[in-house]
Structure 1
Amino acid sequence: MATDVVSVRMPARGMAHDLRAVKVVLHREMLRFVNDRTRMLSMLIQPVLWLFVMGTGLGTLVRGSIPGVDFRTFMYPGMISMTVIMTAMFSAGSIVWDREFGFLREMLVAPVSRGSIVVGKCLGGAVVAVGQGVIILAMAGLVGVPYSPELMVTLLAEMFLAAFTITAFGVTLAARMRNMQTFFGLMQMAIMPMMFLSGAMFPLANLPSWLHVLTTVNPLTYAVDPMRQAVFSHLSLPPQVNALLNPGVQWFGWQVPVSMEIGLVALLGLALLGIAIAQFRKAE
C-alpha cells in the first residue's frame, strides 16, 4: 500500500526573512515592557529620587560655588543615562528568564539566524529604554533645562545609542547564564561602579589623578558626557561655572570631541553586538 508523503517547505532564508525575525523579537520586547507597569514604575523611582531628593540636598551644599545654575540641572543628563542604562540592562536580563522557562530554546531552534534574534533583542531593549527615558526627558523644565526641539532630538539620539550599547553588553553577559540571581548580581557588580565613575553625579573637573584615570577608561563616561554637553550648550552660564560643571573628557590635556565620544560608544556597541551574536551561535 502506497503511503502519501507530505512535503514540508521551509521558508527561504534571506535578508527579508531575518528582518521579519528582528521585527518579531523587537515587538515582543515592547509588548513585554508595556504590559509590565510595575517594572515601568520601579525603573523611574530611582532616578527621580536621585534627581529631586539627592540633587536638591547636594544643591544646598554647592549653591555658593555654582551661582546661576541649579545643581539638579547638572545632574539631569546623568539621571537620563541612569534611567536608560538600568532599563536596557533589565531588558537584556529577560534572556535569562526566557532560558529558565524554555522560550529561548524555541527561538534558537526557529529557522532564523541567531544573529537576527540578538539584533532584535538589542533594538528592542534600546527602544524600550528610550521610551522610559522620554518620561525623564519630559521633566526637563522642572530642573531648568529648556524644551528646545534641537536639544530633545539630540538627547533622544544619544539615549538610543547608549541604550543599544548597554543592551548589547547585557545580552553578552546573559548569553551563558542560567538563573536571574547570577545575572543581576553580576549586573550590579558591573553597572553600579561604571555609573558612579561616569560623571553622572559629580563634575569631571579637578578630580584626583587616580579618579580621573578611572573616569577616562570607563566606557559610560563617553555616553554621559555628550548628553551633558548637549544640555549645557543650551544654557547661559558664567564661563567659570561652565568650566567647572562641564569640562568634558580630556586625554592628557587634550579635549575629546563629542563626535569622537559618540563614535567610541557606537564602535563599542557594534563590538559587543558581534560578541553577543558569537555567544548565541555557540549556545545549545
Structure 2
Amino acid sequence: MTSNPVAPRTRTGPAAPFAVPPDRPGPVLELRGVHVVWERELIRFLRNRLRIVTSLVQPILFLFVLGTGLSRLGPATGGYDYRTFVFPGIVAMTVMFTAIFSAVSIVWDREFGFLREMLVAPVSRTSLVVGKILGGATVATLQGLLILAFAGAVGIPYSPALLAVLVGLMLLAALVITAIGVLIASGIHQMEAFQAVLQFVAMPMFFLSGAMFPLTGLPAWLHGLTVLDPLTYVVDPMRRAVLAAIGTPPALMARLAPGVSWGDWIVPTGVEMALLVALAVLAAAVAVRRFGHTD
C-alpha cells in the first residue's frame, strides 16, 4: 500500500510580504529621507516652546545688560552705541549655540535606540546626515531671526538689503556649526560627555570670534586663535555689513571692522564664504564616514 504524496499548496491570495521587492536607494528615496529627518528636527523645535524662550535669554542678557554696561567704559566704538557694535556677534552667537546643540538629539536617539532604526532605513547615511544638518541649520536660523528682530532697538535699520545679507550669513553659519556638532556627536554615546565637549568647543569659539571686541591691535597669540575660529569668518562680514548700513566713516570702519588678516593680506568676503562652505562639506563628509563605523 502506497501513500499518495501531498499535493503542494498554491497561494492564491496576496503575495507574501517577502515577495515584494524592497525599495532600492535612489534619488527620490534619498530626498525623502533627507526631508523626513529635516521635518523631524523642525517639528521638535516648534513643539518645544520652552526651548525657544530660554534660548533667547542669554543673547538678550549679552546684548542689553552686558552691552549697556560696557558702553559706559568709554568711546571705544567711536561714538556708536556699543550694543550696535556687538549686535552682529550676538546674532552669530545665537545661531552658533542653537546649531551646535541641535546635534544633541543624535546622542539622545542613540541612547534610546532610535538612531539604530534610522541607520537601518533603506537610505544612505549621507541622506541622514544631510537631513540632520539641514534641520539643525533651519532651527538655528529661525532662532537667529528672533534676535534679528531686535535690530531696531540698537540703532540698526531694517533695510531689506541688510537683512538679506544677515540672513544669508546666518544660514551659512548655521550649516557650518551644525555640521561640526553632528561630527562631534557621531562619536559620542553619553549625553553628559557630549554636553561637556560642546561647552569646551562653543565658548572658546564665541569669545575668539571677535564678537565682543574689534580684531585690531590684538597680541600675536590671540590673533592666531581668532584666525583659526570659523565663527570669526561669520562675525566679520556681518559687522561690516551692519556698520556700512549705518553710514560708518571709512576711518572708523577700518578700526572697528578691519577684516580678518592672514599676515598682511585681508581675507576678502568671498574667500571667507568659500572657507565656510568647504568646512561644512568637510565636517559633513567626516561625519558620514564616522556614522558608517558606528551602531
Q: Please give the range of the TM-score, normalised by the shorter of the 2 chains.
A: over 0.9
Task: Please say if 1:273 is aligned against 2:280.
Answer: no
Shift in alpha-carbon separation, 1:53–1:3, aligned structure 2, 3 A:
farther
How far apart in 2 are the matches of 1:21 and 1:69?
48
How far apart in 2 are the matches of 1:258 and 1:231?
14
TM-aligned CA deviation for residue 251 of structure 1: 1.1
Task: Please say if 1:21 is aligned against 2:33.
Answer: yes
Residue 2 (structure 1) aligns with: 9
State how many pairs are aligned.
283
User: Given residue 270 of structure 1, which amino acid in structure 2 is its aligned partner?
Assistant: V
Asked if the contact 1:68/1:237 (under 8 Å) is kept, the reply is no
3-state SS in 2 of match to 1:233: helix
Instruction: Give the RMSD, CA atoms, in angstroms.
Output: 1.3
3-state SS in 1 of match to 2:108: helix
TM-score by length of 1: 0.96
3-state SS in 1 of match to 2:102: helix
Residue 196 (structure 1) aligns with: 207
Task: Please say if 1:247 is aligned against 2:258.
Answer: yes
How far apart in 2 are the matches of 1:115 and 1:130?
22
2:109 aligned residue (98, 115, 121): 98
After TM superposition, where is structure 1 displaced by more than 3 Å over at least 4 residues in a row?
Answer: none
Residue 164 (structure 1) aligns with: 175
Can you give the 5+ residue segments of structure 1 that lack an aligned partner in the other structure? none
Asked if the contact 1:22/1:117 (under 8 Å) is kept, the reply is yes
Task: Please say if 1:79 is aligned against 2:86.
Answer: no
TM-aligned CA deviation for residue 243 of structure 1: 2.0
Which shifted more, 230-239 or 16-25? 230-239
Shift in alpha-carbon separation, 1:10–1:212, aligned structure 2, 3 A:
same
Task: Please say if 1:61 is aligned against 2:68.
Answer: no
Asked if the contact 1:21/1:117 (under 8 Å) is kept, the reply is yes
How far apart in 2 are the matches of 1:269 and 1:195?
18
Residue 45 (structure 1) aligns with: 57
TM-aligned CA deviation for residue 8 of structure 1: 2.6
Q: CA offsets per residue over residues 91-115 of structure 1, 9 Å max, x none?
A: 1111001111111111011111111
How far apart in 1 are the matches of 2:117 and 2:266?
49
TM-aligned CA deviation for residue 3 of structure 1: 6.6
1:177 aligned residue (175, 182, 188): 188
Can you give the 5+ residue segments of structure 2 that lack an aligned partner in the other structure? 1-7
Task: Please say if 1:140 is aligned against 2:144.
Answer: no
How far apart in 1 are the matches of 2:141 and 2:135?
10
